[in-house]
Structure 1
């Protein structure tokens, strides 16, 4: 087995745009669930709106790349308001059902041929990269070392994504230390008690949904920077991966989502390279393709064990997790 290639591919996942995008989305989900107690299973919808809003703004309307990103974030905020008005008074389990359905509605809208002029339906969108790439401040060349070697465009994508992630982490940290953040935590623990103090619980939930949704949409934008926007990327499995990352790192933490994203995608990269190699060498009684699929089973089992034995995650505090009371 080529252990050098396996190790290199695993380390490369540390700073991949996918890892950064999922860290952003999980940070937004931490605002929803970890700090407010909103059981949102529709983060894929927010990511799709961010990615499509950015791509359509650039391709169909010729807007600058930065303005396209702002429009993607605004679309996510509008979606949060439209989703929150009829649903935020629902109980947690009903809210989960509604949000996962809403995300599927968003994905199916992008696949329908009614909007084919803008979305290209199931084929997705590409070719919107020129504006972003022309803003690259790094000269042409190769940067880094070993598995962290990038050309100027790859470096620019990662630097931009990390800057957005750092900004999101700082905003969440500042908000959760403010009186507004303390109200959210109170709602998570006992919203009736918060309501008895004269706070508008519905308004705070709505604000939390918007803030977390916008951060998730930023993750959706970073997610599509390397290649294209494809509607099949925004299935329910995307949301479940984000939940796995959140629970792994710690739902009610600031840095937990980022740590969870790094661990999750490095483990996925390790298993995705190691298991097929073991199958090819005859150590596993299955084909290479079956061995590649086995990693999802192992990750699912690991998530079950995590929820059972350490539901607060790696960085979390068990006293802050409402679902283990």
Structure 2
């Protein structure tokens, strides 16, 4: 086994676009679930809207790249209102069912040929990168050391994504220490008590859904920056991966989703590189290399169950703040 290659490919995911995008989306989910108690299983829908809003506004309407990001944000806000107005009064389990369905509806709308002129249906969208790359302030060349050697475009994507994560984390940190954040935490603990104090619980839930959805949309944009927008990426399992990240780092924390995303993608990258080589070396004679790629998802599922059983508060979390542990 080539451990040098395995470790090098694994280390590259410490600052990969996928890691950054999932950290952003998980921060939004922390606001939804960790702080507000909203069992949202539709974060993949917000990511899809952010990515498609960005790509479509550039390709179909010739908008600048930064306008494309704003379009993705506005799209996520509209989706939050459409989703939240009829559903935020539902109990947590019913809300989970509705949000799963809503995210899947969004994905299928981008897949259908009815909007092929704008979405390119199942083939997805590409070739929308010129404007973002033209705004790159990094001189042309290759930079870095060890496994983190990239050209100016690859560094620009990573630096821009990390800046978005820092801004999102600061916003969440500030909000949770404000009077608004204290009301949000109160809703998570006992929304009837908050309502008895004269607070509009529905309005606060809607605000939380909108802000967390915007973070999800920004995660979708970052995921789209280096490559293409393909609807098969925004499936339900993406949201489950975000919950794995969230529970790993800590649901009601600011840094938990960020650290959780790094750990999640490092483990996924390690398994993706190590398992096939173990098969080829005869260490896993009962499976093929293709089957070994499926095994990593099984291991992630088992890990999620073990986290919920033995450390539901995650690495940084406080068990007393969990909505599903009373």
* Alignment partners' CA distance in 2, 1:31 and 1:152: 33
* Alignment partners' CA distance in 2, 1:258 and 1:106: 26
Partner of 1:295: 296
Partner of 1:267: 267
Q: 1:52-67 alignment to 2 at 5 Å?
A: 52-67=52-67
* Alignment partners' CA distance in 2, 1:292 and 1:92: 33
Partner of 2:94: 94
Q: 1:79-90 alignment to 2 at 5 Å?
A: 79-90=79-90
* Alignment partners' CA distance in 2, 1:116 and 1:300: 35
* Alignment partners' CA distance in 1, 2:170 and 2:302: 33
**Residues paired across the two proteins, number:** 325
Q: Deviations over 1:174-198 (max 9, x none)?
A: 0000000000000000000000000
1:124 to 2:124 alignment: yes
Partner of 1:230: 230
Secondary structure of the residue aligned to 1:63 is coil
Secondary structure of the residue aligned to 1:323 is coil
How far 1:127 sits from its partner (Å)? 0.5
Secondary structure of the residue aligned to 2:140 is coil
Question: Which 4+ residue blocks in structure 1 deviate beyond 3 angstroms?
Answer: none
Partner of 1:46: 46
* Alignment partners' CA distance in 1, 2:299 and 2:87: 34
* Alignment partners' CA distance in 2, 1:60 and 1:163: 28
TM-score calculated relative to the size of structure 1: 0.99
Partner of 2:139: 139
* Alignment partners' CA distance in 2, 1:206 and 1:94: 16
* Alignment partners' CA distance in 1, 2:63 and 2:294: 41
How far 1:290 sits from its partner (Å)? 1.1
How far 1:47 sits from its partner (Å)? 0.2
How far 1:322 sits from its partner (Å)? 1.6
Partner of 1:172: 172
Across the aligned residues of Structure 1 and Structure 2, the Cα RMSD in angstroms comes to: 0.5
